[in-house]
Amino acid sequence: QVQLVQSGAEVKEPGASVKVSCKASGYTFTDYFIHWVRQAPGQRLEWIGRITPYNGGTNYAQKFQGRVTMTRDTSISTAYMELSRLISDDTAVYYCATAYTSAWSFDFWGQGTLVTVSS
Amino acid sequence: QSALTQPASVSGSPGQSITISCTGTSGDVGYYNYVSWYQQHPGKAPKLMIYDVSNRPSGVSDRFSGSKSGSTASLTISGLQAEDEADYYCTSYTSTTTYVLFGGGTKLTVL
């Protein structure tokens, strides 16, 4: 069965960077997009960007351009999302999700990674 | 447009039907058939319920259905059950560099 397992919670100081991993199993990793979505406490979901595991191509939401980098390691079926220059508003649960049935829908989700930005 | 508009809350009794609306613009919901709906229980990851306006993923109950008219998409849940109580979010692809818009979420209460 399709499964996405994310790395554990992080606490970072303002200005630092965080890198979250997402290990996929149960399907061919290079066949489907991996999207990253976040949810701040009590807030709506927010799309950050996506990576094409086959060739490493990326699309980022304009809001995160210049601060986010998405990469992947196909040898271990793992995608990464790194967010730099963190501020308190980046405190959120970060999710990875596959686009399995349609390019712009998110079929299977990781368990989420809480990133807390605090001094 | 920075987000899609959903009602903050809806409610219904077990067995009834409810509909949640999701209003966008001609640049997103009104143009693309990439509207999806997600169910989220507290502390859990979202779950895909409807994709591409009206398609149900395997394993999702046929009590859930989606539709679209103009720039407004809708999620209908028939035969409400207690387990349907959750937050529901709509999303749409958009022609802007935001790529994906989310609605603000609708809290469904089963009375």
Tell me the pLDDT tens digit for each residue of B62-86. 999 999 999 999 999 999 999 999 9
Question: Could A61 and B98 be called an inter-chain contact, meaning their C-beta atoms sit closer than 8 Å?
Answer: yes
Tell me which residues of chain B, numbers 61 to 90, contact chain A at a CB-CB cutoff of 8 Å. Answer: 89
Residue B90's pLDDT is 97
CA–CA dist A56, A82 (Å, integer) = 14
- Average pLDDT of the residues in A11-26: 97
Mean pLDDT of A97-103: 89
Out of A102, A104, A111, closest to residue B100 by CB = A104
Residues of A in contact with B48 (CB under 8 A): 105-107
Q: With beta carbons under 8 A apart, name residues in chain A contacting B104.
A: 44
Contact between B47 and A102 using a beta-carbon 8 Å cutoff: no
Closest Cα in chain A, distance from residue B86 (Å): 14
What band does B3 get if pLDDT is binned at 50, 70 and 90? confident
Give the closest residue to B99 by CA, choosing from A94, A37, A3: A37
> What pLDDT score was predicted for residue A2?
93
SS (HEC) of B35-68: EEEEEECCCCCCEEEEECCCECCCCCCCCEEEEE
pLDDT, tens digit, 9 for 90 and up, residues A56-84: 999 999 999 999 999 999 999 999 999 99
What does the pLDDT read at residue A100? 84
pLDDT at A48 over 60: yes
pLDDT for residue A103 is more than 90? no
Model pLDDT, residue B97: 87
- The pLDDT of residue B2 is 63
Per-residue pLDDT of B29-68, as tens digits, reads: 999 999 999 999 999 999 999 999 999 999 999 999 999 9
Give CA torsion, residues B18, B24, B25, B28, to 10 deg. -110
Q: Which of B34, B52, B99 sits opposite A47 (nearest CB)?
A: B99
Identify the pLDDT of residue A5. 98
Which residues, at least 6 apart from B74, have a Cβ–Cβ distance to it below 8 Å? B19, B20, B21, B22, B66, B67, B68
Q: What's the confidence (pLDDT) of residue B51? A: 97
With a cut of 80, say whether residue B1 has pLDDT above it: no
